[in-house]
């Protein structure tokens, strides 16, 4: 992972909201400082876990500008710049570059966009003109487009296209992407140690909002190829990472982070807070992590 620009834990950080549903920038700064202190290697701003789809364009751009300024080079910065219009993706990407972001994460065209390989290649070629490293996004269950190994090899020929985040949840499919030699990042929380063993170049990890120190310890152990240590750490993480992947992912991350002292308020509407009957199961799954995770934010 040492030759890749985004190794380790790239935290898909939650976006904190106040009681009125507005972005709470004071709290956002506190969270960033807490996660930096916990050792996270990078941040994904305006991530899916950070409710990108429920932020306006201006809110997302302001969030990226603010976050990058607070981080100030102490960790890498990836900004999600996904949008329906390619012109808007380029606009957001140019803005991220001006803010000092190290790269951008971009969904392929979605909601009745092109599904043929050439259409996907043309889309990312347009985004590449903004001049920032691009991380593509493979989440076929959500957008209806699969980044296959053959497509990934073609995308890697585009200037600035450096990686793909795989959130398919299919380890065999992700391993196939990694075998192309193009850096592949894992985005499926229950697969973390297996993906790292299979050659994932880095992690984009929403569940790490709840247990950043433990997640960083696992990534560092994997980078040093201390697989026995990885296995022991994963025993504590596996129950919660499997639980949140079963449904209500964003709501679960917000609730779990709050339980662990990294509260970001409630998710923004139309998402509701996690149902009360699911809280105890989440709390039980997090219990083995409490001793290691002592939030200071």
- Of 97, 165, 213, 254, which is the active-site residue? 165
CB 197 within 8 A of CB 227: yes
The residues facing 136 across adjacent strands are: 164
As a whole number of Å, the end-to-end CA separation of the chain is 30
Which residue has 């076929």 as its token pair? 140
Q: Tell me, yes or no, if 262 is annotated catalytic.
A: no
Q: Is 58 exposed, middle or buried (0-12, 13-18, 19+ CB in 10 A)?
A: exposed
Long-range residue pairs from 164-169, CB within 8 A, at least 24 positions apart, any chain = 164/135, 164/136, 164/137, 164/138, 165/105, 165/135, 165/136, 165/137, 165/138, 165/204, 166/138, 166/195, 167/137, 167/138, 167/139, 167/142, 168/138, 168/139, 168/140, 168/141, 169/141, 169/245
Provide CB contacts within 8 A for 158, sequence distance 6+. 121, 124, 125, 128, 134
Catalytic: 35? no
Q: Which of these is catalytic: 124, 137, 254, 262? A: 137
3-class SS letters over 161-174:
EEEEEECCCCHHHH
Active-site residues, by number, are: 137, 165
């Amino acid at each position: 992972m040492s030759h890749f620009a985004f190794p380790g834990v790239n935290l898909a950080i939650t976006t904190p909201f106040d009681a009125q549903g507005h972005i709470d920038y004071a709290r956002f700064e506190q969270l960033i400082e807490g996660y930096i202190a916990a050792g996270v290697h990078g941040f994904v701003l305006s991530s899916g876990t950070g409710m990108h789809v429920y932020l306006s364009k201006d809110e997302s751009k302001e969030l990226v500008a603010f976050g990058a300024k607070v981080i100030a080079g102490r960790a890498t910065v990836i900004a999600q710049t996904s949008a329906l219009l390619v012109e808007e993706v380029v606009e957001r990407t140019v803005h991220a570059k001006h803010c000092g972001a190290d790269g951008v994460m971009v969904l392929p065209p979605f909601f009745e966009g092109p599904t043929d390989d050439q259409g996907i290649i043309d889309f990312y070629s347009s985004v590449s003109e903004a001049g920032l490293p691009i991380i593509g996004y493979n989440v076929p269950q959500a957008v209806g487009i699969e980044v296959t190994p053959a497509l990934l090899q073609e995308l890697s020929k585009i200037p600035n296209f450096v990686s793909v985040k795989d959130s398919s949840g299919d380890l065999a499919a992700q391993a196939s992407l990694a075998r192309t030699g193009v850096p592949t990042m894992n985005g499926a929380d229950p697969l973390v140690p297996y993906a790292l063993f299979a050659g994932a170049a880095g992690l984009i990890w929403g569940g790490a909002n709840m247990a950043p120190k433990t997640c960083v310890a696992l990534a560092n152990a994997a980078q040093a190829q201390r697989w026995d240590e990885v296995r022991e750490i994963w025993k504590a993480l596996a129950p919660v990472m499997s639980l949140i992947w079963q449904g209500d992912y964003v709501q679960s991350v917000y609730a779990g982070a709050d339980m662990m002292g990294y509260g970001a308020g409630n998710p923004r509407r139309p998402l509701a807070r996690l149902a009360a009957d699911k809280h105890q199961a989440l709390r039980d799954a997090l219990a083995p992590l409490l001793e290691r995770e002592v939030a200071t934010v």
